Chain A
Amino acid sequence: MTTSSEEFTTVIGPDATFKGELTFESSAKLLGKIDGTITAKGRLEVAAGSECKATISAKEVIVQGHIQGNVEAEDLVELKPKGMITGDIIAARMSMAEGAAIDGHCRIGVGSKTASLKSMAEVKPLVETVKAK
């Protein structure tokens, strides 16, 4: 644990429960239970066993635990084998391992940096246009 936690400036331990707004200036690793809003300018890792009922906004989000809420990543969302996200995702890139789970709306790739979660509701598939023809 010492080697992995050295990579992160902040580590929230497995016995911690937090309710409210969390802001990190760089990277952070979450092992406990979080309820609220999380903002990180760097990398955010939700470790295995951790439960986040939060709206997350970070540069990179690595998920090994369970996130229940919307995730907005400037760069990458990475789901490890037992990672799970129940909520909407906005990211420039996404990687998903075998065994990971997603249940929610996604906006990955071009234009996602400028997109916001509010604009996701406006997305309509082109299928309806084809059907009308």
Chain B
Amino acid sequence: MAKSKAKAGTRKTIRCYLCGQELDVSARTMSTTCPGCNKAIKVEDLLVKSYLPVNDLQTCGMIKITKRGRVAAKIIQSGDGIECEGAIEGDVETDGHVRLGPKASWKGKVLRCGSIDIAVGATIIGELKIPWVRKKSRKIII
């Protein structure tokens, strides 16, 4: 009889990047279905090590872009923030913190985030909206 043995404290609260719905999930969850919009959402952290041309790069976790990583997307959405040492092209939306390393670059229409840390040497081209907070909706526990 296999039972889930999730310990107290191994759960985390995430917010759907599509509808803003808050939900409680296990810390090990990689993806789930949002009860607010009934759509599949990613929860895991993403690591970009090379060139990644996509339409949307979305996760409730964190997005890390290494020195050789380059993301070209229509929209990049993250719940826990973005750490970038490489390049980002596209609109960025995150509830968390954005950290741009010394050789990082961002180019897009709008970058919305809670806070930002720009290292000397980083390049930014586009509109910044800081601080930005996604609209909250009621919390659901799964």
Contact = CB atoms under 8 A, between A and B. Distances in A.
Interface of A: 89, 93-96, 98-110, 123, 125-127, 130-131, 133
Contacts of A105: 126-128
A125 B105 contact: no
- Majority-rule SS of B interface residues: strand
Contact of A131 (B74, B121, B131): B74
A102 B105 CA distance: 18
A125 B90 contact: yes
A15 B67 CA distance: 50
B115 to A, nearest CB: 5
B125 A131 contact: no
A126 B127 contact: no
B74 A103 contact: no
A127 B72 contact: yes
B118 A101 contact: no
Contact of A109 (B108, B121, B129): B121
Given A93-B120, A101-B131, A127 B126 contact: no
Contact of B124 (A100, A108, A126): A108
A125 B123 contact: no
Given A98-B115, A131-B74, 14 more contacts: A89-B128, A93-B120, A96-B115, A96-B130, A99-B115, A100-B130, A103-B128, A105-B126, A105-B127, A106-B125, A107-B124, A123-B107, A123-B125, A125-B126
